[in-house]
């Protein structure tokens, strides 16, 4: 019983020193944003039923863009640039 208590205390101290939900730096979030864009690009050019993966990655990109403080218009533009959809001139004007 005492051994189990010692293990619980050790785990609690580890969790306190390295919390699982620690805040990320802007650089880490930006790197994750760019990685998600590349993943989205690969998914778009993959054949087969990848709709669920595409939706999940799209949502992740939108959320990371929101965390970075990017305007929604810029996030959509980034997503479109990394997809296989045709973009017509003047479609995304500033």
pLDDT in tens, 3-30: 676 777 777 777 767 666 666 788 999 9
Q: Is pLDDT above 70 for 93? A: no
CA 44 → CA 16, 31, 76, 92, distances in Å?
41, 20, 15, 20
In tens, the pLDDT along 37-56 reads 999 999 888 888 888 898 99
pTM: 0.67
pLDDT (0 to 100) of residue 1: 52
The pLDDT of 61-78, averaged and rounded, is: 93
């Amino acid at each position: 019983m005492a051994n189990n208590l010692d293990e619980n205390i050790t785990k609690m101290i580890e969790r306190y020193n390295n919390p699982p939900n620690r805040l990320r730096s802007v650089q880490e979030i930006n790197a994750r944003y760019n990685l998600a864009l590349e993943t989205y690009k690969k998914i778009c050019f993959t054949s087969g039923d990848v709709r669920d993966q595409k939706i999940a990655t799209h949502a992740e990109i939108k959320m990371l863009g929101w965390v970075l403080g990017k305007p929604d218009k810029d996030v959509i533009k980034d997503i479109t640039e990394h997809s296989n959809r045709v973009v017509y001139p003047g479609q995304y004007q500033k």
